[in-house]
Amino acid sequence: MTSNNRRCVVSGLGVICAVGNNVEETWKNALNSVSGIHKTTSLDTKNCYADLAAEVHCDTLDDIECPDEKDRASKLCIKAMKEALNDAGLGDFADSSRVSVIIGSCVGGVLSIEKYHRGGKDANEIPKMPIAAIASQVAESCHAGGIVTNVGNACAAGTISIALACDLIRAGRADVVIAGGSDSFASVPYSGFLSLHALDENGCSPFNHCNGITLGEGAGIVIVESLEHAEKRNAKRYCEVLGAGVTSDAHHITAPREDGICLLEAMNRAVKNSGIKKSDIGYLNAHGTGTGKNDNAEINAFLKFFGEENPTLSVSSTKVMTGHCLGAAGAIEAVFSIKALTTNTVLPTLHYSAEDSVALKEKVGQMDYVQNTPRSKELECVMSNNVAFGGTNASIVFSKNPGDVQSLVAKDKKIAVTGIGIVSPIGNSKEAYLESVKSGKLPETASICSTVTNDDYKELGIKMAFYRKLDNLGQLQTVSGMRALKDANFTVTEDNAKQIGIIVGTSEGGLGATYDFQELITEEGNAGGSAFKFPHTVYNAAGGYLSILSGIKGYGVTITTGPLSGLDSIGYSMNVIHDGQEDAMMATGTDENIPIITELCQKLNVAADKVVEPYSDSNGFVVGDGSVSVILETEDYAKARGAKVYCYALGYGNGRKNVKFGHISGSGEALDMAINDALKNAGVSIDEIDAVCGFANGFKTLDDIERAAYARVFGDKLASLPLFQVKERVGEGRAASATLAAAEAALMLSGELAEENAYFIANGGVSKKKVATSGFKKILVTSFATGGSYSAVILGK
């Protein structure tokens, strides 16, 4: 049985979607087989072949603090969060570091992007645009002071958020996690799915007519709590959250694998990690979008996976009621699944005629695809599945019993850094980057970017048939990822493809591509979207392309929480390895600087007008970009394949002090917390730290926070402590710079970067000199995010 300290329970639920503005209303309508799909009233449907959507109608969304500063996606999420906290008997958390927020989203603040573009480019819209705003604003609303993370895996994001919530609790990093997903109905996804001819003009009909999806919107929140914490406060307990499985198709950017084998693997992992039998699952809330490709892949996967052991499993898709709520889907369906479990009710897929039922039976045999009306059924465990663009598969199990959850089975394994891939404005390989460092290359202008060329593709053997599909972000990501694999001498084969996963960290992800898509449809109308460009708007497209190209079929998650995502990708990867999910992980940080990104920085008055260097007390920074990938693997795995080791990942930490998203002032003490948390996690004392790879970029507000925290944490030692700042060369490349700082630390520890410019802070002043790095044994790496989150990683010899 799962030991008590690994048990995660659900203590509160919140939901808002087309069939209800709260759990009670939504559940009542679900039991009455009500569909929320109607003709859309909020978007222009001129010349569009489909005009149905499942929209939320709620006039109290603005009853929150500062509604003008929040996108509809945040408002939906905060509404569901408030209901869930109230349900759980929880309130304001007073910045407790034990309360985390993890929210998934697909299109994030896309309505604010549209408003900015159509409405005279008002700078106030900018902070509402990225997905990262959502979890941060949720945390700010209830003063959750723990780890704040957004998941950007499109339509599987909601499920992954709940899985990550359990990972944090089981790793002892949180007591309570507000987990879920949120997305709003908007022109970009509507036009995008139209361009793909993936909308059903008659309303979606999963496992039945399968002519396409119908978009919905909404948010779902599940309060996941450690058993210990829930017991202590005598909390309501709906159920346990057992294991989850996340895999990558390595197949196509929009279409799932027809054979469904990677979805099957996700379910297999979920069942295995839960320590249950397949036959313990009584109901499966399928992804069931209503496209032929998705539904057939699922039908195949369910038959193959459950066929013999659980032939009469009950299956349904609730998307005929809610529409496809994208990043919120997994969270809303988790609420449905949990209500189904606790009330012993299986929910139906709606709109089956007698003929439809006969046709379905031919496809699915004796499996129980519940149709039209709900039914009572004694349930022990339920499973909820979601899949996404980029090839992500996610599966999670909710249960009345504690199961036998497998977690942290490899927690004592040492994690080695064995490969580095760098794409930066000063070079597209580790070698080119090191050469530029040696020659003292600096930015030539205040806005710089990386450029991938055909030479990169040629060298890596990437064919035109593949690279022609990539947008800029995908180019940066695939080249850095493939270079990291090559550097690690890691050949992905059929045998090891499931033993390695990818975590991409990105600050803005597909925001630039979303803006470009919005620009296109503002001109052409919603009927004029591009099927070629639409996939790039999802934040996990870059990671998806890397999975397709490399063949990596294991864990695949994109986190998007600001610049620190490039360090959190390392922290979360360590967790995945320690959990025994994978033997190896690629942790990356990727962000792009296309013209709209520089424009947004300029509008926010954070872009410098000339080249500035760290600690220059400037009123802006050089806008940069890049992609940096790092291979992490257990020492055993590295040794077994004869890999060279750069250094070891010893520990990671996080800290948060809530300030408004888009701001950082006043949050500095959270950096101290992140550093101390990382030291504790690594079992290292502050005196053992020989150097710091930091995040200063020249912008006074940010740099002052960084140096003040170091002064507090290091005390007198700071005067002689070398601080390395990659942004002097690559600008503010957000997540890419965060991973680059870690890569530099690894290069110094391995001896490949023998000499480097170091900043020293003493007597209130800053000096700079070249230092030899050969004596370093342990290096601290730090990063930040607006809203008040900080992360730290410790690498050592």
Partner 1 sequence: MANEEIKSKLKAFFMSDLGVDGDVLNYDTPLFGEEIGLDSVDSLEIISFVDDNFGVSMTGVAKENFQSIDTIAAFIEKNKA
Report, as residue numbers or ranges, the catalytic residues.
Answer: 155, 287, 324
Distance (Å, rounded) from C-alpha 783 to C-alpha 692?
A: 11
Q: Which two tokens stand for residue 634?
A: 């257990």
Instruction: Report how far residue 314's alpha carbon sits from residue 646's, in angstroms, rounded to the nearest whole number.
Output: 50
Residue 470 or 736 with smaller CB distance to partner 1: 470
Cβ–Cβ under 8 Å, residues 183 and 105: yes
Q: Kindly calculate the radius of gyration of the chain based on its CA atoms and give it in whole angstroms.
A: 24
Least CB distance from residue 106 to partner 1, whole Å? 18
Which contiguous run of DSSP H or E holds residue 765? Answer: strand 765-772
780 vs 797: CA distance, rounded Å? 12
- For partner 1, the closer of residues 50 and 219 by Cβ is 50
User: Could you tell me the two tokens for 12?
Assistant: 């509160």
Which CB, 252 or 278, lies closer to partner 1? 252
Shortest reach from residue 481's CB to partner 1, in Å: 19
> Torsions phi, psi of 594, nearest 5?
-95, 165
In 497-571, at which residue ranges do the beta strands (DSSP E only) sit? 500-505, 556-559
Q: Which residues bind partner 1 (CB under 8 A)?
A: 195-197, 252-255, 454, 463-470, 530-532, 535
How many residues would you count in the chain?
797
What is the nearest approach in angstroms of partner 1 to the Cβ of residue 211?
Answer: 14
Question: Which H/E stretch holds residue 437?
Answer: helix 430-438
Q: Could you tell me if 15 and 76 are in contact, meaning their C-beta atoms sit under 8 angstroms apart?
A: no
Residue 254 or 418 having the CB closest to partner 1: 254
Q: For residues 244 and 165, give the distance between their C-alpha atoms in angstroms, rounded to a whole number.
A: 11
Minimum separation from the CB atom of position 299 to partner 1 (A): 20
Nearer to partner 1, 195 or 514 (CB): 195
Distance CA 641, CA 361 (A): 49
**Helix (H/G/I), strand (E/B), else coil: 276:** coil
What count of Cα atoms within 13 Å lies in the side-chain half-sphere of residue 370?
24
Supply the minimum distance, in Å, between the C-beta of residue 530 and partner 1.
Answer: 7
Helix (H) or strand (E) holding 82: helix 72-88
- Bridge partners for 110 per DSSP: none
Indicate the burial class of 468 (C-beta count within 10 angstroms; 0-12, 13-18, 19 or more): exposed
Burial (Cβ within 10 Å: 0-12, 13-18, ≥19) of residue 215: buried
Closest CB to partner 1 among residues 168, 194: 194
Q: Which is nearer to partner 1, 526 or 782 (CB)?
A: 526
Angle between helices 292-306 and 354-364 (to 10 degrees): 50
Instruction: For partner 1, give the closer residue by CB, 424 or 540.
Output: 540
